[in-house]
Every structure is written in C-alpha cells, then in structure tokens.
Chains A and B, each alone.
Chain A
C-alpha cells in the first residue's frame, strides 16, 4: 500500500555492452526478469525500494490494528480486519519480489528489526481517534494508490506483477476510509469535529509521503531512466492534491492550509510550503511513534520465534523418519 520515494543517488556511467543492451531493453519497454543480466546499481535500487515498500506494509498494520478491537460496529470491524490482513499480504508479495533479486527474507526482516531499513514516514504518526482510521483509508491509501499505479508498469517484472495485485485489492481500502469520513461528517457536530481533526493532523504527513521536492532530489534520475519510476515526486503529489481536495470539500471539511486555492491558469490546486524539517526528523527516527512501532515489530518477531523453530524441527523430523513398512 505504501511506497515512499526514498531513492538514493546512483551512477549511470556503465558503458559496457551488457549495460547498453540492458538500457535498450528498458527503452523498448521490455520487462526485466530475475535471471536476466542487470547493472548492480539497478539491483541495489530495487532491493532497497521493494523492501522499504514491504516494510511499510508490515509496519502499516500497526496504526490501524490499534482500532480493530474498538471499531464502532461489526461491519466496520470486519472491514478493518480485512484491510489489515490485506496489508500483511501485500508485505508478503513484496518481500517475495525483493527475494528474486538474491536477498533472503530473514535478511530483510533483520534489516527492519535492527532499524537499518527505512519504511514510510507516515506510520510513525499515532491513530488517536476512530476518525483517524477514516483519514488513513481515504488519504494515506489514496496517496499510496497514486504512487503505486505507475509502479504497475515498473521495468522489473516481479515488482510490477506484485503491484498489479496490490492495486486491484487496494481500491476497497480507500473507499472504506472515505465512507467512514462521510458518516462522521454527516453525524453529530462532535463526530464532524473528529473528522476535521483527523484531516488536520494527517493532511501534511500525507503530502510528505511522496518524498522530497524534485528540486532537492536528484535521486529520481536513475530510477526514471530505468523506468522503475514513471513520474517525479512533485508530479504525483500534485495529482494527489488535485484528486483529493474536491473530495474533502464534498465532506464539508476544510484543509489545514491557508494557501490552498484553485489556480485557474494551470488547472491545478496550489498548496502551501511543506515542513521538510519535520519529514527528515520523522524519517531519521524521531517521529511520534518510531520507537513504539519498531518495539512492536520486534516483540511480534521474538514471540513468534518458538513457532518458527517448532515448525522447522517438525519438518526435519518428518523428513528423517524411516518408512514404517520396512520395519518387518
């Protein structure tokens, strides 16, 4: 559900025959498969991006899981449970795609648990009220979908195929979130205020999900060149704002941005300055929930250790058991 532009710079200086042939395939919209030749930097970029994406799905289960037991009705509870299960499934599709590049699942999990790997900054914010579940579905999943639709055409086959599956499953996520917001916005004044408060708190962190502005990020160049990315961070962010602002107005809510206005000339919604210092702070580990999220993942992993060990021991025992018929 949640990818974030966290690319790091890579060099495209390789002019070998293999590298030129590889780029020709990319330019011809050919898909690269795991056993094909690829530049090391392409492989590294993909392992990092796909595993960050997978980690984001897994950590993303935590803020929403927080409200499963307190959902206001059985209908909402069943939907939220299904959504959180989907996020777990999406994490698994993505880990599997990353593993085709030669990195093991155990290694990837280890990178997350030791804090070496990053995940989307958005999950380091707390879910304080039920309205946050609405805001996450509507805004966070909405931003994620904006990011992920172009990834369905990513040059690396396994990643593109995982994204197609994820996008197909994800449209319910955004709709269930918007429905929660709509119900609250049409409810009592207190419920509407709760929806407004959630929008106020989630709006800016959602805009940050698209990553640093193009002017500060030379990083997307290689990813664009390799057709891992199809649009720049700012282009996707603008698409998201244009799609989302009318939806918020339909709810009768206001956005926490005094500079937000429709620009007739460009046909786009213009918005104010994003607090990039906050983005960097949260990404560096100093958001409201970073420590809590990692602690929860570590606890879950450690609490499950005996299950994994027992399953492997049982499988080894079954494998070693002599055939019974030969006893006579």
Chain B
C-alpha cells in the first residue's frame, strides 16, 4: 500500500489586474515556501497576461467571518438607508449632484 505524501502548505493567491485596481482573490496553490508559491501562482493564474502584481498569503493566516454570523454581522446596516445618496431629495432643477 502506498503512503500519501506529506502535505505541502496552501497559499491564497491575489492578483492586481490593472494599475489602479485592488488585488483580487483568484484561487490557491500548494507550495513549500513563499518564493515557490509566487512562481506557481504566476504559472497557474497568469498564463494570459492577467496580472501586473501577485500576492500570496498562507491560507492559515486568514481569519474569516463565520457564515452563520451573517445576520448579526450585517443586519445593522440594513436599516441605515440614509447612508445612500438616493435617500435625499434634490429637485430636478438643481441638475446632477
């Protein structure tokens, strides 16, 4: 019976597509260290000039919110419609604002 290999660490990959845009999560790669993770991310996620810059972050360094907490986390903004511009009335004669 063969034994499975030792696990290789997981990294999350973020790519900035064009100058001015933020890095966006595109997927993940396995690599032994950060240098190899960057190289793997380059090969796997930018074969067609998708990026100008890559970040790789150890997956276990990310702290995520729990989907089960969604309601309590985000509910408070639901009632604050005055945070949106359309809440305020401006006469048409004033033009674009």
Q: Which residues of A contact B (CB under 8 A)?
A: 33, 35-36, 82, 85-86, 89, 92-93, 96, 99, 104-107, 109-110, 113-114, 162, 169, 305, 308, 311-312, 314-315, 318
Give the residue among B5, B27, B31 with the most A Cβ atoms within 10 A.
B5
14 new A-B pairs (CB below 8 Å) besides A85-B47, A92-B44, A311-B8?
A: A35-B64, A36-B67, A89-B43, A89-B45, A89-B47, A99-B10, A105-B8, A106-B5, A106-B6, A107-B4, A110-B4, A308-B32, A311-B33, A318-B33
Instruction: Give the CA-CA distance A33 to B27 in the complex, in Å.
Output: 14
Distance in Å: Cβ of B66 to nearest Cβ of chain A? 7
- Of all chain B residues, which has the CB nearest A168? B48
- Of all chain A residues, which has the CB nearest B34? A315
Contacts of B7 on A, CB cut-off 8 Å? 104-106
- Of all chain B residues, which has the CB nearest A305? B5
A sample of 6 inter-chain contacts (CB < 8 A) reads A35-B66, A96-B27, A106-B5, A114-B2, A169-B48, A312-B6
The answer to whether the Cβ of B56 comes within 8 Å of any Cβ in the partner chain is no
Contacts of B66 on A, CB cut-off 8 Å? 35
- Of all chain B residues, which has the CB nearest A35? B67
Q: Are A314 and B32 in contact (CB under 8 A)?
A: yes
Query: Please, how many residues of chain B have a CB less than 8 angstroms from a CB on the other chain?
Result: 24
Instruction: Give the CA-CA distance A99 to B8 in the complex, in Å.
Output: 13
Contacts of B33 on A, CB cut-off 8 Å? 311, 314-315, 318
Q: Are A96 and B2 in contact (CB under 8 A)?
A: no
Instruction: Give the CA-CA distance A221 to B28 in the complex, in Å.
Output: 32
Q: Are A308 and B5 in contact (CB under 8 A)?
A: yes
Contacts of B31 on A, CB cut-off 8 Å? 311
Q: A33-B67, A109-B4 are in contact. Are A93 and B27 (CB under 8 A)?
A: yes
Instruction: Give the CA-CA distance A315 to B47 in the complex, in Å.
Output: 26
Q: A105-B8, A308-B8 are in contact. Are A110 and B32 (CB under 8 A)?
A: no
Instruction: Give the CA-CA distance A122 to B2 in the complex, in Å.
Output: 27
The answer to whether the Cβ of B16 comes within 8 Å of any Cβ in the partner chain is no
Distance in Å: Cβ of A58 to nearest Cβ of chain B? 13
- Of all chain A residues, which has the CB nearest B32? A311
The answer to whether the Cβ of B30 comes within 8 Å of any Cβ in the partner chain is yes
Instruction: Give the CA-CA distance A104 to B7 in the complex, in Å.
Output: 8
Q: A33-B67, A35-B67, A86-B47 are in contact. Are A92 and B29 (CB under 8 A)?
A: yes
Give the residue among A82, A305, A312 with the most B Cβ atoms within 10 A.
A312
Contacts of A106 on B, CB cut-off 8 Å? 4-8
Contacts of A162 on B, CB cut-off 8 Å? 27
Instruction: Give the CA-CA distance A322 to B22 in the complex, in Å.
Output: 35
Contacts of B27 on A, CB cut-off 8 Å? 93, 96, 162
The answer to whether the Cβ of B73 comes within 8 Å of any Cβ in the partner chain is no
List residues 35-72 of chain B with CB under 8 A from any CB of chain A: 36, 43-45, 47-48, 64, 66-67
Instruction: Give the CA-CA distance A162 to B10 in the complex, in Å.
Output: 17
Q: Are A312 and B4 in contact (CB under 8 A)?
A: no
Distance in Å: Cβ of A114 to nearest Cβ of chain B? 6
Instruction: Give the CA-CA distance A142 to B45 in the complex, in Å.
Output: 23
Give the residue among A35, A109, A315 with the most B Cβ atoms within 10 A.
A315
Contacts of A109 on B, CB cut-off 8 Å? 4-5
